[in-house]
Amino acid sequence: MTRSLIVEADGGSRGNPGPAAYGSVVRDATTGVILAELAGYLGEVTNNVAEYRGAIAGLAFARELDAEASVEIRLDSKLIVEQMSGRWQIKSPDMRKLALEARAIFPPGRVTYTWVPREKNKRADALVNEMIDGALARGDKSIRRVDGLPTEDASADDVVGSIDLERSRAVVEEQAARRPPTAMIGWADLGMPTVTMLARHGATALSLEKRFSGRGGLDAPLAAIGMAQAEALAEEMMRRDPVARIIASPLLRTRQTAQCVADRLGVSVEIEDGFAECAFGDWDGRTFAEVKQEWPEALEDWLSSTAVAPPGGESFEACRERISAARRRVVEAYAGERVLVVAHVTPIKILVSMAVDAPLSSLYRMELPPCSLTTLAWFPDGNSSMFSFAEAAHLRAVPVPDGT
């Protein structure tokens, strides 16, 4: 009987590139027993290199154990899972070398790659941090713990070489019988929703100065801090459940932000004109204070009614019509998929108001940091839900200028 093994692999870099390490946990697939914990310090490399090295180390140990085994390798890197599964191209020559090295360890068809969320890969992640900490503090270069390793799994509490397989299976079955059901009892099946993760673009020079910046005005590129925010967003999307599509507004700042994420995920960017920012007409490029001084009555009217447009611009009600049409196109085209939409303040606020059935005027009460994430679900029966709003924890490491 062919032996089945599981490799849980991870890698990380503090700085990307920076001090980096990999971590791999090798388990028996039948019993869940941990057969080895492996880690190695890599010096200064990127996250992707470290993650590939974790996969390679785990596969190499699995081959040491049994060259005839079948292996499932689990990673929280969607990039590596998709590349090694052959669904995404490998553009980087360095990544191609690592992929070839990984593929050479076992014959084709004996290794499968599975994406798991980060919380399901905690043991490998902990090894990465243990290794980096040890290397920086004491100069340690590797960790190799094998044979008889204690495990947190109650179904695998025997040591390697003395495991009672029948007892282990009995424990697993008993625990499964006691475990509460994971289904949401009592809820109607509304069908698979289309999930839109809405990301605001990174900061531009205009947004840093709090200037109106809409469709039809200056098509400003990302500022340096905006690029850093986009990189942080890309890192966050690597940690999230994978998205099937990336859709962006046609404006430059959203396309740049979307492309930054796309390069990390290996997903192409599609353009949806309907998600462009509102047109602010004569106010474009002006600060709120400048507009208040030059157009005091028009500004008051605009703030009092979503049906009023800035001089030469677009009202929020008109904006809602095209955004609603764009939402319908996305939901119909990508029903049941998980989609990242990179857009602007106004389209995201309008989509939120639509999802929670709030008046359009509610957008005056919302704040969205650059590259924040808002998640909305659109169900086949017409219902909708907001899962999160303006998440920005992934931006903590990005320095923010005073007053922004």
pLDDT of residue 186: 46
Average pLDDT over residues 142-156: 58
- Burial environment of residue 285 by CB neighbours within 10 A (0 to 12, 13 to 18, 19 or more): middle
Q: Which of 82-91, 151-160, 249-258 has the lowest mean pLDDT?
A: 151-160
Average pLDDT over residues 13-39: 91
Identify residue 182 by its one-letter amino acid code: T
> Does residue 151 register a pLDDT over 50?
no
pLDDT of residue 271: 97
In 3D space, the residue among 255, 25, 334, 331 whose CA is nearest the CA of residue 153 turns out to be: 25
Looking at the DSSP bridge assignments, the partners of residue 375 are 197, 388
> What's the CATH number of domain 4-178, 3.40.50.300, 3.40.50.2030, 3.40.1280.10, 3.30.420.10?
3.30.420.10
Average pLDDT over residues 316-320: 96
List the chain domain ranges: 4-178, 194-395
Looking at the DSSP bridge assignments, the partners of residue 245 are 339
* Strand order, beta sheet including 4-13: 111-115, 70-75, 4-13, 18-28, 34-45, 142-146
Spatial separation of the C-alpha atoms in residues 341 and 199, rounded to whole Å: 6
Q: What DSSP string runs through 198-261?
A: EEEPPPBHHHHTTB---TTS--PPBPHHHHHHHHHHHHHHHHSSPPSEEEE-SSHHHHHHHHHH
pLDDT tens digit sequence for 39-60: 999 999 999 999 999 999 999 9
Tell me if residue 277 is catalytic. Answer: yes
> Does residue 66 register a pLDDT over 50?
yes
pLDDT band at residue 357 using 50, 70 and 90 as cut-offs: very high
> What's the CATH number of domain 194-395, 1.10.1030.10, 3.30.1550.10, 3.40.50.1240, 3.40.190.10?
3.40.50.1240
Tokens representing 166?
């029948």
Average pLDDT over residues 384-396: 93
Catalytic residue of the set 37, 51, 201, 344: 201
In 3D space, the residue among 333, 351, 353, 334 whose CA is nearest the CA of residue 342 turns out to be: 351
pLDDT band at residue 132 using 50, 70 and 90 as cut-offs: very high
pLDDT of residue 123: 94
Tell me if residue 394 is catalytic. Answer: no
pLDDT band at residue 122 using 50, 70 and 90 as cut-offs: very high
Spatial separation of the C-alpha atoms in residues 385 and 391, rounded to whole Å: 16
Helix axes 122-138, 47-65, angle to 10 degrees: 110
- Asked if residue 214 lies in contact with residue 279, where contact means CB atoms within 8 angstroms, the answer is yes
- Asked if residue 47 lies in contact with residue 36, where contact means CB atoms within 8 angstroms, the answer is no
Per-residue DSSP letter, 376: E
Average pLDDT over residues 8-26: 93
pLDDT band at residue 178 using 50, 70 and 90 as cut-offs: very low
- Asked if residue 182 lies in contact with residue 176, where contact means CB atoms within 8 angstroms, the answer is no
Per-residue DSSP letter, 148: S
**Residue keyed to tokens 């009600």:** 317
3-state secondary structure (DSSP) of residue 212: coil
- Asked if residue 279 lies in contact with residue 313, where contact means CB atoms within 8 angstroms, the answer is yes
Question: Which residues have CB under 8 Å from 121's CB, separation 6+?
Answer: 8, 10, 74, 75, 76
A 10 A CB-CB count for 91 gives 10
pLDDT of residue 179: 40
pLDDT band at residue 150 using 50, 70 and 90 as cut-offs: very low
Looking at the DSSP bridge assignments, the partners of residue 26 are 7, 36
- Asked if residue 39 lies in contact with residue 58, where contact means CB atoms within 8 angstroms, the answer is no
- Asked if residue 226 lies in contact with residue 201, where contact means CB atoms within 8 angstroms, the answer is yes
pLDDT tens digit sequence for 197-242: 999 999 999 999 999 999 988 899 999 999 999 999 999 998 888 8
